[in-house]
Amino acid sequence: MSVLSLLRRREAGIALALLVVIGVTTAIQPGFLLSAGGWRDLLLTPSILVVLAVGQAVVVITRNVDLSVGSVLGLTAYLTGRLFIDAPDLPIVVVALVAVAAGTLLGLLNGSIVAFARVPALVITLGTLYVYRGVTLTWAGSDRIDAGDMPRAFLGLGTRQVLGVPVLTFIAAIVLVAVAYYLYTARGGRQLYAIGSDPDAAALQGLPVRRRLLWAFALNGALAGLAGVMFAARYGTVSSGAGAGLELQVVGAVVVGGVAIFGGSGTAVGAALGAMLLLTINRALPVVGIPDFWQRAVVGALIIGAIALDRVLANRRSRRLAAARDAEPPPGSAPPGSAPPGGGPNDAGPDDREEATA
Amino acid sequence: MPNATPTLRLEGVAKSFGPVAALRSGTLIVQPGSIHALVGENGAGKSTLVKIVGGVHRRDAGVVELDGEPVDFHGPAEAKAAGVAVIHQEPASFPDLTVAENIFLGREPLGRFRRIDRRAMREGVRELFRNLGVDLDPDRPAEGLSIADQQIVEIAKAISLDARLLVMDEPTAALSAVEVRRLFAVARGLRDAGHAVVFISHRLDEVADLCDTVTVMRDGEHVSTDAVADVTPDQLVRRMVGREVAELYPKVPSTPGEVVLQVEGLESTGTFHDVSFEVRAGEIVGLAGLVGAGRSEIARAVFGVDRYDAGRVVVGGRNLRQGDPAAAIAAGLALVPEDRRLQGLVTESSVARNVSAVSRRRLARLGILLPDAEARLARDWSGRLEVKAGALDAVTTTMSGGNQQKVVLAKWLATGPKVLIVDEPTRGIDVGTKAEVHRLLSTLAAEGLAVLMISSELPEVLGMADRVLVVREGRIAAELSRAEATPEAVMRAATPGASESESAA
Amino acid sequence: MRTHARPWWQRALLTREMLTILILVVAWVVASAAVQGFDGPLTITYLVLDVAPVLLIALPMTLIIATGEIDLSVASVVGLSSVTFGLLHQAGLGLWVALLVSVLLGAVCGAVNGALVAYAGLPSLAVTIGSLALYRGLAVGLLGTTAVTGFPESWTDGATENLGESPYPVITLGLLLMIAVFAVVLHATPFGRDVLDIGRSSEAARFSGVDVKRTLLILFVLSGAVSALAGVYYTLRYGSARGDNATGMELQVVAAVLLGGVSIFGGRGAIHGVVAGVLLIGVLGSALRLEGVTVNVINIVIGSALVVSVVAPRIAGGLRVRRRSAAIAPHEPPRFAAGAHGDPDGGSAVGQGT
């Protein structure tokens, strides 16, 4: 892939916007980037949202959506804390794996309803958003997991850095690379795009549509579970309301990152960049003198702007194609007595390879 | 060459959809290493035949053999597995995947750790393209490919499947001259490699240029099979049209009145160009032409569901605002659209709601619409048109095509239109209802309604119309009076390259 | 030809809406019998006061979902309207003026959504997720974490006091009026027919002369204005204008509408079903609360009910379609299993732009 086509990609635009935000903010307040804390926050703050956005991207690419991720995160975050309290001997890795497995199950539940009953994922996951949250609330009550309940080694994951990079950021990066790699280089990954691009055609081609959908929702659930573990490590306290309302931020990040809400296009990298852009803007606003109360407004405007921009680009493309059809009329279309427009389209050009095989 | 076992042998294949026989007796024998043309009017049964070969439909009767082995496909996947590749007019590609991925979807070459070996895949595609003599970038997304290039992709896919039989259904309809030549080169290459190719086209010059053998179909039956060298285009046209214009069409004589609908210089980039015509009260004007020539698009633009770039539409002496169907309806236009189930009816709704769909604002009193008013209107009109339904609140989804069409007609006649545009008014409906629709249109015209009728069935146009406009590739190519409008004259004007002599208006 | 295939009582009783109403009645009876204090007058009063905003917003939402679109920004408009109302009051304007301006602002919010969906052709799901954040952000931005209080008692009492000695709050009258208006609009006007037609087949509606874009715009404006009205009510009911008022209420509204039998694919829905859906959630809520069950279990119940209300007719419908397609001569080429979002009735997926 040439450098030019790389620059033209939708992801490049978001990366550029991200750089501009960081650049401008740093120019105003150098500490935003050029201090130990600034650097750390820049990387650490988005890491949880990146993991969620990457998972959501997989689902949205199949022309679905999972609104229950905030509730899954809350449930698995609480589960993580609970396990540390109730089974203090379990190794941290096992606790994390259990939480991820729980997330996978919740995702599978979403996926199987969507895939087998063939109902819109929006409604189903709206329902499970309530249910999963309700389970957490019932289980936790007004109970809260505090930093003291969890092992110090675990909490250290939330703050420690390796080679100047926070551990959680490392985890997010590994997730991003793995999912991006899967989407790009696995047969199943490409089939997810095909399914989102045209579900009917995908079925006609004999692709295992249901299995892929189940897998997409399960993967998203697993990543939401992982995000729950990260949440517990990062914040040290988990109440039953952890992650409430996060789903809209996640969907927003994915859309801003250029994953089309109607499926078939977008990348994990784009979604991750979208998540970073949203949260970095949030942190930049107070620096440039806008009270952080306005953060959500900016995020909303950004989401709408991103969809509108995608539409404008798509419209321009289709108009160009319509005009191209006229510029190159089918043979014999010239009306009697009038020359074909624009000289002879039939002139042998570099595209004419009849000789090559004749 | 013709002594080998034929790659494809169809004999006496029949297929009906409900009461309508789409294919009565399809016969087609294709030899390996040959390009076989299949020609015929719209509705002759070619597409049905192709869909049976491709596994989309199952036949009711007859024999289908591949390389001498009888086959009975239960779906497109089975046909594909058996080595039959069908390229449809509008190929279904996944726009977000690359060209190479589209070709190898689900069959990608794998490297270590079951990852897609993109290099091998790219090389495979390059190899395919090299053999095809095309120069497409395997890594570009399929989005934005011209239809021609999409067809190249489909062909490459077909070859990579090592299909022994390749069927191309009107592949050139959307192609430019350069692209057509490229496609032909590919087809010849396949033939020379021993594959069998079936080529469906309306363009007889292309048939003469490309094919070895030509089979003519008419009314769902096999008419003739000859070596291309042995028949002239004129002979083919005569065989395609074949029959006398039957007395099926009860033409009631009427004297055209004043001009009601006037279209001037209508233009839409990429679709149609400089379209001008008029329709008078009491006259039926036929709009003939090949599928995809732009007839429906013209009708849609006149009625206002599509926009146009230049020109104007005048109804009853008044300019019509473009892009505003409500204004068109108020001015007295009515459109019975091409796609009955998608555009003509709200199929989920009842007969009563559908019949009153356009008139309901008139039925409302003080803004309130009572179900009684709807039912009265619906009972009146469905009675006049003899709609057969269990009850007025029966949902139209389950009705037969003929009854559905009557509901659509009832809906529009209830508005008391001055101009009625009908687009393929009898497509997919049984013979009895067909005659009813014809009688109705004829009577309406005699009563002073201006009718613009689009139809791909030549006998229908010739039997019904007072005047025939022939559309070819988005332009009005000819205007023929009822006397001038012979099947040959219409086909000649409609078919690009059928004849040098133009019977232009 | 007969007007109706079935006698009137079957048409009235064998509907999806009646199922919700039936469940509502059962829930009510069970709650009255089993839950101590449920049938007291106070329950009714609080039930009405609590469901009022959801009920109000559910009315235009019914129409929007009936067209196959969705508006997720409604709760944010409630918040923005609440803040506007509070700030205008703080600035010393009369409350009637503040009310009017707030509702107008809500209409403008709706118009922005509607223009983006109808005229720019953007998917309503994505647009209103964006404007959900935008309008909430404006509300929180304008007022920060502070609240405006001190509304005149004549107004706050008006929002909560009862009709004479009855258990019904005064606002019941207003709610009944709104319900009646929306029921008439949806079920007995050409406009209502247009709405359902768009949901069933917006293409066919367009070919019948329905101005699909304008209809959608009107619905979104209506949704914004009514949400703003609900915002003013919410402010007066709790005596406090805050930027985060009614956060998350959009989900309750959508859940209630779908519980009430409106099809998420568009084309089906009735106001009485939606009213029953709203009340059902309200009754369950107050009954369980009286039982000492926390809000949490109520959420589980609502969520499960939502899933079941969508999945159940789908399974029943799937069986019906299979039987029907076996019985009817196949005039069309066979439809293929449509994968992810297949809908055998050709309904559009949620949020599909026009």
Question: How far B373 CA sits from the closest chain C CA (Å)?
Answer: 11
Of residues C70, C123, C299, nearest to A134 (C-beta): C299
Backbone angles phi and psi of B492, in degrees to 5? -65, -45
User: Cβ contact (<8 Å) for B182 and A326?
Assistant: no
Report the distance separating Cα B15 and Cα A135, nearest Å.
57
Cα–Cα distance between B55 and B61 in angstroms, integer?
14
**Least-confidence region, from A10-14, B186-190, B239-243, C265-269:** B239-243
Selected for mutation to probe chain C from B335, B348, B381 (highest C CB count within 10 Å) is B348
Helix axes A209-235, A92-117, angle to 10 degrees: 140
Q: Which subunits sit against C, judged by 3+ Cβ pairs under 8 A?
A: A, B
Q: CB of C118 within 8 A of CB of C212?
A: yes
Strand partners, B479: B469
Instruction: Give the mean model confidence (pLDDT) for residues B453-474.
Output: 88
Question: Residue C183: phi, psi to the nearest 5?
Answer: -65, -45
Whether residue A193 and residue B115 make contact (CB cut-off 8 A), yes or no, is no
Of A312 and C75, the one with more pLDDT: C75
Count of helices and strands (H, E) across chain A: 17, 2
Say if residue B244's pLDDT is above 50.
no
B58 three-state secondary structure? coil
pLDDT of residue C205: 95
For chain B, which domains are there? 8-93+145-241 (3.40.50.300), 257-332+417-498 (3.40.50.300), 347-414 (no CATH)
Per-residue pLDDT at A6:
59
C-alpha C214/C-alpha C193 separation (Å) is: 14
CATH class of C11-325: mainly alpha
Q: Which residues contact A331 (CB under 8 A, 6 or more apart)?
A: A346, B176, B177, B180, B496, B497
Top mean-pLDDT range of A28-37, B125-134, B252-261, B280-289 = B280-289
Note whether C327 contacts A: Cβ–Cβ < 8 A.
no
- Please tell me what DSSP assigns to residue B341: I
Residues in A closer than 8 angstroms to C145, CB to CB, are: 293
> Residues 192 to 211 of A: which have CB under 8 A from any B CB?
193-194, 196-198, 201-202, 204-207
CA dihedral A125, A126, A132, A134 (to 10 degrees): -170
How many residue pairs bridge chain A and chain C with CB atoms within 8 Å of each other? 205
Q: What is the pLDDT of residue C52?
A: 95
Chain C residues with CB inside 8 Å of A120's CB?
264-265, 310, 341, 349-350
Look at A105-109, A330-334, B368-372, C342-346 and tell me which has the smallest mean pLDDT.
C342-346
Secondary structure of A80-141 in HEC code, one letter for each residue = HHHHHHHCCCCCHHHHHHHHHHHHHHHHHHHHHHHHHHCCCHHHHHHHHHHHHHHHHHHHHC
Handedness of CA A157, A162, A166, A172 (dihedral sign): negative
The predicted model gives B451-470 an average pLDDT of 89
The long-range contacts involving C192-195, CB below 8 angstroms and separated by at least 24 positions, are: C192/B369, C192/C63, C193/B353, C193/B357, C193/B360, C193/B369, C195/C63, C195/C66, C195/C67, C195/C219
Q: Is the pLDDT of residue B17 over 90?
A: no
Considering only residues 381 to 400 of chain B, which have any Cβ-Cβ distance to chain C shorter than 8 Å? 382-383, 387, 389-394, 397-398, 400
Q: In chain C, which among 329-348 make CB contacts under 8 A with chain B?
A: 329-334, 345-346
Q: Which of C95, C91, C74 is nearest to C142 (CA)?
A: C91
- pLDDT range class, residue B427, cuts 50, 70, 90: confident
pLDDT at A7: 58
Distances (CA, A) of A78 to A131, A230, C20, C300: 15, 11, 35, 17
From residue A106, alpha-carbon distances to A54, A60, C76, C278, C304 in Å are: 17, 17, 29, 27, 14
What is the number of CB-based contacts under 8 A between chain A and chain B? 127
Q: Do A333 and B473 touch (CB under 8 A)?
A: yes
| Higher pLDDT among residues B443 and B399, named by residue | B443
Q: What is the mean pLDDT of chain C?
A: 84
Q: Write the residue in B56, B303, B375 that is nearest to C333 by C-beta.
A: B56
Which segment of A236-250, C17-31, C239-253, C288-302 scores lowest on mean pLDDT? C288-302
ipTM of the complex: 0.80
Average pLDDT over residues B411-440: 86
Give C134→chain A minimum CA distance, Å: 4
The predicted pLDDT at position B178 comes to: 66
Secondary structure class of C117 (helix, strand, coil): helix
d(CA A201, CA A186) in angstroms, rounded, equals 20
The DSSP bridge partners found for residue B285 are B452, B467
Mutation site for A-interface testing, chosen from C72, C132, C310, C319 by largest number of A Cβ within 10 Å? C310
Banded pLDDT at B497 (limits 50, 70, 90): low
pLDDT at A183: 92
**C334/B357 Cβ within 8 A:** no
Alpha-carbon gap, residue B236 to B238, rounded angstroms: 5
Coil, helix or strand at residue B30? strand
Q: Using alpha carbons, select from A227, A213, A246 the residue that is nearest to residue A175.
A: A227
Candidate ranges B63-77, B230-244, B463-477; pick with highest mean pLDDT: B463-477
Length of chain A: 358
Question: What distance in Å separates residue B175's CA from the closest CA in chain A?
Answer: 5
pLDDT under 70: residue ranges of chain A: 1-8, 204, 206, 318, 321-358
Looking at the partner chain, which of B57, B329, B428 has a beta carbon nearest the beta carbon of C331?
Answer: B428
C297:A199 CB<8 A: no
Burial classification of residue A221, based on how many CB atoms lie within 10 Å of its CB (0-12 exposed, 13-18 middle, 19 or more buried): buried
| CA-based nearest residue in chain B for residue C187 | B369
**Domains (range + CATH), chain A:** 3-315 (1.10.3470)
Q: Tell me the nearest-neighbour CA distance from A99 into chain C, angstroms.
A: 21
Structure confidence at residue B19 as a pLDDT band (50, 70, 90)? low
The token pair at A11 is 């992801």
Of residues C351 and B363, more confidently modeled: B363
The verdict on a CB contact (< 8 Å) between C193 and B348 is: no
Which of C126, C299, C337 lies at the smallest CB-CB distance from A130? C299
Contact C253, C77 (CB under 8 A): no
Query: Which chain B residue is nearest to residue A347, measuring alpha carbons?
Result: B178
Question: Which of B94, B172, B203 is opposite residue A197, by nearest beta carbon?
Answer: B94
- For the segment B245-258, what is each residue's pLDDT rounded down to a tens digit? 444 576 777 788 89
User: Mean pLDDT for chain B?
Assistant: 84
Structure tokens of C85?
């109302």
Average pLDDT, stretch C175-196? 96
Any C CB within 8 A of B402 CB: no
Dihedrals phi, psi of B471, to nearest 5 degrees: -100, 130
What's the confidence (pLDDT) of residue B176?
59
Interchain CB distance below 8 Å, B390 and C2: yes
Residues 6+ positions from C220 with CB-CB distance below 8 Å: C64, C71, C110, C111, C113, C114, C117, C118
Interface of C with B in 251-280 (CB under 8 A): 267
pLDDT of residue C341: 33
Instruction: Please name the chains neighbouring B, where neighbouring means 3+ C-beta pairs under 8 angstroms.
Output: A, C
Chain C residues close to A307, C-beta within 8 Å: 122-123, 126-127, 130
How many Cβ atoms sit within 10 Å of the Cβ of residue B231? 17
Q: Which residues of A touch C70 (CB under 8 A)?
A: 122
Read off the pLDDT of each residue in B142-159 and give the average, rounded to a whole number. 76
Q: Single out the residue of B219, B222, B304, B220 nearest to residue B263, CA to CA.
A: B304
pLDDT value, residue A142: 76
Residue B124 has pLDDT above 70, yes or no: yes
Higher pLDDT, B159 or A170: A170
Q: Tell me: the pLDDT tens digits for B88-99?
A: 766 677 887 889
Domain ranges across chain C: 11-325
Token representation of residue C3: 């007007």
Q: Which residues of A touch B92 (CB under 8 A)?
A: 198, 201, 204
- Please report the DSSP string for B109-170 in residue order: -B-GGG-B-HHHHHHHHHHHHHHHT----TTSBSTT--HHHHHHHHHHHHHHTT-SEEEEES
